[in-house]
């Protein structure tokens, strides 16, 4: 059986949750390996419609173990809210690794305050879920890890040690400070709610790898907002790449057998930073309306544009996709013409190489036009069922990504998928 890594190939919200939900139906283990509740992974299945923020999209398979992994940052308050919306019988196989970091109340406050200090141009547009401040503490080695909840005396000493520093930061922004007792009360409540779900998950993962079980790694966000390879500083604070997945899932890179890039048939981005293929015209509006492009976490309208093949080529190279899943093809059903940004115009120089952030801010898109198919594809279940123009468009996306297309999604429901 395979270890399959699901990676966002663009700016996030590609439909990863929907693909993980599909692949998880016969998986043994699903690991949400990085990020936090900044995510909104929408799944539509026999249990209903859910926007999962931190809980792995494998939770709906009663037989699978769903792990919030080592590289994740966890807000147990939002996890509780989320779990309350999921049928009880599905809760028992949820585990959170002891090494994951806790998003503390001060992280959320600092996220909002830091963002409000940025100029309009510099705004990252964070989800204000405390992601950046939590990962900053992790890197500074003053973070609190999930496993510490199981040792209240040790945790208290740790909080006593770091709290003066955190309170100074809060005071700097004129924010409410915390007492040790307030934070301990919160942590004890989290322990009472989630203590039985906290574990060192590596032995479970290793056993599954050794027994060749089916494992799905669920990435959060997409490479264009990767901390190292994305549009820094308009990035998140973790690594949504396949390299990042190997690093924090507890599975060696050469044990990962498939790396599936999830690519929307067009582009969307939420938050600040360059977005070269962005549309400000009627087509952009139409993509947003038909694609229901509003953030699953913050409800913000997503910026929309045509597919960016320059970014997809970059994404495929850096992630080493073995295949891609093309999602939301049906959103293009009514378009007369569909465009793809095939190259960037950088002050008169045409290039297919994706420059760093500043270059992307200066780049103008160079579009190629494809003929639309003007046919409803939502009922198609075989590649041959798709209109000829749609088949050609999907093949072209595979060529831009230099790999085969393994899935085409033509609707949000679990069965609205074409397997190639
Ligand atoms: P994720 O963060 O990558 O999991 O993606 P999101 O859930 O944030 O955004 C994807 C949105 O598109 C969700 O509302 C999904 O229900 C929806 N969706 C996923 N695949 C398809 C598809 O093939 N067609 C349509 N029309 N909607 C889809
Ligand atoms: P999923 O997993 C889309 C964006 C934010 C902001 C930047 C940093 O659903 O694809 P953060 O809160 O992480 O510090 O914000 O990244 N962002 C996302 N955009 N989908 C997401 O997750 C996102 N998570 C963060 O809008 O620009
Ligand atoms: Mg999302």
Distance of CA 241 to the CA centre of its chain: 10
For residue 35, count other CB atoms closer than 10 A to its CB.
Answer: 28
CATH number at residue 182: 1.10.300.10
Ligand 1, closest atom to CA 297?
A: 8
Domain that holds residue 147: 102-195
Q: What is the pLDDT of residues 99-123, one digit of tens each?
A: 999 999 999 999 999 999 999 999 9
User: Counting ligands in written order, which one lies closest to the CA of residue 16?
Assistant: 1
Note whether 135 and 162 are same-domain residues: yes
Q: How far apart are CA 71 and CA 54, in angstroms?
A: 12
Q: With residue 319 as reference, give the H or E element that holds it.
A: helix 309-319
Burial of 293 (0-12, 13-18, 19+ CB in 10 A): buried
Looking at the structure, do residues 313 and 402 belong to the same domain, yes or no? yes
Six token digits for residue 420: 């190639």
> For the CA atoms of the chain, what is the radius of gyration?
21
The residue nearest atom 25 of ligand 2, judged by CA position, is 38
Q: Are 296 and 395 in the same domain?
A: yes
**The last residue of a domain, from among 195, 223, 244:** 195
Same structural domain for residues 191 and 202?
no
Closest residue by Cα to residue 29 from 211, 261, 193, 247: 211
Q: What is the domain-level CATH number for residue 271?
A: 3.90.170.10
Q: Is 72 within 8 Å of 331 (Cβ atoms)? A: no
Specify the pLDDT at position 296.
80
Q: Which of ligand 2's atoms lies nearest the C-alpha of 297?
A: 9
Share of the chain above pLDDT 70, in %: 100
> What is the residue with the minimal CA distance to atom 6 of ligand 2?
126
According to the model, what pLDDT value does residue 342 have? 98
What amino acid positions are annotated as catalytic residues?
Answer: 13, 41
Distance 350 CA to ligand 3 centre (A): 32
> With a 6 A CB cut-off, is 271 part of the ligand 2 pocket?
yes
CATH number at residue 233: 3.40.440.10
- Mean pLDDT value across residues 76-87: 97
Question: How far is ligand 1, taken at its centre, from the CA of residue 108, in Å?
Answer: 26
User: In terms of domains, do 392 and 276 share one?
Assistant: yes
Does pLDDT of 1 surpass 80?
no
| Shared domain check, 352 and 283 | yes
Q: How many CB atoms lie within 10 A of CB 62?
A: 10
Q: How far apart are alpha carbons 194 and 189 in whole angstroms? A: 9
From 177, 195, 213, the end of a domain falls on 195
Minimum CA distance residue for ligand 1 atom 1:
13
Residue 238 in tokens: 């973790």
Establish whether residue 13 lines the binding site of ligand 2, counting it when its CB lies within 6 angstroms of any ligand atom. Answer: yes
What per-residue confidence (pLDDT) applies to 361?
Answer: 97
pTM above 0.85, yes or no: yes
Pocket test for ligand 1, best of 42, 292, 413, 416 (most atoms within 8 A of CB): 42
Q: Per-residue pLDDT tens for 157-208?
A: 999 999 999 999 999 999 999 999 999 999 999 999 999 999 999 999 999 9
On whether both 79 and 16 belong to a single domain, the answer is yes
pLDDT digits (tens, 9 = 90+) for 308-344: 999 999 999 999 999 999 999 999 999 999 999 999 9
The reply to whether 203 and 341 lie within a common domain is no
- Ligand 1 probe mutation, 261, 412, 413, 418, most atoms within 8 A of CB: 412
Looking at 175, 195, 215, which one is the last position of a domain? 195
Residue 126 near ligand 2, beta carbon < 6 Å: yes
291 with 374, same domain: the answer is yes
How many angstroms is it from 370 CA to the middle of ligand 3?
A: 27
Same domain, 350 and 282: yes
Distance 93 CA to ligand 2 centre (A): 27
Q: How many domains does the chain have?
A: 3
Query: For 213, phi and psi rounded to 5 degrees?
Result: -75, 165
Do 110 and 42 belong together in one domain?
no
Q: From the CB of 270, is ligand 2 less than 6 Å away?
A: yes
pLDDT digits (tens, 9 = 90+) for 275-315: 999 999 999 999 999 999 998 888 899 999 999 999 999 99
């Amino acid at each position: 059986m395979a270890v399959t890594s699901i990676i966002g190939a663009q700016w996030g919200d590609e439909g990863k949750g929907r693909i993980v939900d599909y692949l998880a139906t016969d998986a043994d283990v699903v690991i949400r390996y990085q990020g936090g509740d900044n995510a909104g992974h929408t799944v539509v299945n026999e249990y209903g419609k859910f926007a999962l923020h931190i809980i792995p999209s494998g939770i709906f398979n009663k037989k699978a173990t769903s792990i919030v992994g080592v590289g994740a940052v966890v807000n147990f308050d939002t996890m509780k809210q989320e779990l309350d919306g999921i049928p009880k019988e599905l809760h028992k196989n949820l585990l959170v690794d002891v090494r994951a970091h806790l998003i503390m109340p001060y992280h959320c406050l600092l996220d909002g305050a830091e963002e409000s200090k940025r100029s309009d141009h510099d705004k990252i547009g964070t989800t204000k879920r405390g992601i950046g401040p939590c990962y900053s503490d992790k890197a500074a080695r003053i973070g609190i890890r999930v496993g510490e909840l199981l040792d209240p005396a040790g945790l208290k000493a740790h909080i006593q040690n770091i709290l003066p520093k955190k309170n100074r930061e809060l005071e700097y922004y004129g924010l409410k400070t915390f007492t040790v007792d307030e934070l301990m009360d919160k942590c004890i409540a989290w322990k009472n709610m989630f203590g039985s779900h906290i574990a060192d998950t590596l032995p479970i993962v290793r056993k599954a790898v050794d027994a060749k079980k089916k494992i799905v790694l669920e990435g959060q966000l997409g490479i264009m907002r990767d901390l190292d390879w994305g549009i820094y500083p308009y990035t998140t604070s973790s690594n949504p790449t396949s390299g990042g997945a190997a690093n924090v899932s507890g599975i060696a890179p050469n044990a990962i057998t498939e790396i599936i890039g999830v690519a929307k048939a067009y582009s969307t981005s939420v938050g600040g930073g360059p977005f070269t293929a962005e549309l400000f015209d009627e087509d952009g509006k139409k993509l947003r309306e038909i694609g229901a492009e509003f953030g699953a976490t913050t409800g913000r309208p997503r910026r929309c544009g045509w597919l960016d093949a320059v970014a997809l080529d970059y994404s495929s190279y850096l992630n080493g996709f073995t295949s891609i899943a093309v999602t939301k093809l049906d959103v293009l059903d009514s378009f007369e013409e569909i465009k793809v940004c095939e190259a960037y115009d950088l002050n008169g120089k045409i290039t297919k190489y994706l420059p760093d952030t500043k270059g992307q801010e200066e780049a103008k898109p160079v579009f190629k036009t494809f003929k639309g198919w003007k046919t409803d594809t939502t009922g198609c279940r075989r590649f041959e069922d798709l209109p000829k123009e749609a088949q050609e468009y999907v093949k072209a996306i595979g060529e831009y990504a230099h790999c085969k297309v393994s899935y085409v999604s033509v609707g949000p429901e679990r069965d609205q998928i074409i397997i190639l």
